Amino acid sequence: MGLDGRLIPGREKLIGEGAAETVALREGDTAIQAQDADTALVARAQRGEGDALDQLYVRHRDQVYTLCLNLCGNREEAEDLLQETFVCAYRALAKFRGGSRFSTWLHRIAVNLCHEAARRSQRRADPPAVAAGADTEVIDNVRAALMRLRPHHRVVLVLRYQQSLSYQEIADLLKWSLSRVKVTLHRAKRAFKDVYLQLDETQP
């Protein structure tokens, strides 16, 4: 699913326990519908309705978690980053004025937190952790190749091909120019191709 709710076929999430209303974006939801639903939930959350916070979490948790997982390469760290993202978002929700989509704002927080975590890992000289073994061989190779890339290359690739964002959405999220997104994506794709094909050839 992109920020406009294009993917996740057949997946639905329920509000809280026993609620009948579906909150997760369905395949047929349009970007406007998703944005309107988020806007309404954010307004309710800003008025202090805790249920709205829960619904926002349920709507976006999987996307944010997947983004964090693909950026940091570690499931436990991704879970921690997911929670940290929502904690930061909830505490700053009063300052959210709707200048961008809530999902864009939320993903930007997640990307920034992942960058901070990556910098901390670099200072500790931690080897890049890859969540291997739980997925197919292709996905493991893709994640391993991603972790060998430069951080900003990794970000644009994940936002483009896993989050299915358009060039303009990536530019809005990262606060880059559109031309910078195009150039970075081009270089990132070539770098990924070299690393991934090399990994693929070395597989037994």
Partner 1 sequence: MKCRRVQHRLSQYLDGELIPAERAAIGAHLEACTHCRAEADALGTAESALRTLAVVEVAPDLMDDLRQRLATPAPRRFQVGWVGAALVATAAVAACLLWLSHPTPSPQPAPSKSDTSVSQVTVERPEPVAPVMKEEPEVVASQQPYQIPPRITHSTQGLSERTSLVEAAEATPVDEPAPFMADRAPAEMPRFGVILLLGEPKPVLPSSSCYLEVSFPDGAKSILDQSVERDAAGRPRSVQVSYQQVAPEAQVLNKEVEDET
Q: Does 138 bind partner 1 (CB under 8 A)?
A: yes
- Distance from C-alpha of 155 to C-alpha of 55, rounded to nearest angstrom: 26
CA triple 159-31-6, angle to 5 deg: 55
Using CB under 8 A, which of 55, 63, 103, 104 touches partner 1?
63
From residue 9 to residue 48, what is the string marking binding to partner 1 with x (rule CB under 8 A)? ----------------------------------------
b/e per residue 12-33 (b: at least 16 CB within 10 A) = ebebeeeeeeebbbeeebebee
Q: Which residues pair with 89 in a beta bridge?
A: none
Closest CA to 172 of 125, 116, 107: 107
Q: Does 8 bind partner 1 (CB under 8 A)?
A: yes
Task: Kindly tell me which of 35 and 63 has the beta carbon lying closer to partner 1.
Answer: 63
Residues making contact with partner 1 (CB under 8 A): 1, 7-8, 54, 57-58, 61-63, 65-66, 69-70, 79, 82-83, 86-87, 90-91, 136, 138-139, 141-143, 157-158, 160-162, 167, 182, 185-186, 189-190, 192-193, 196-197
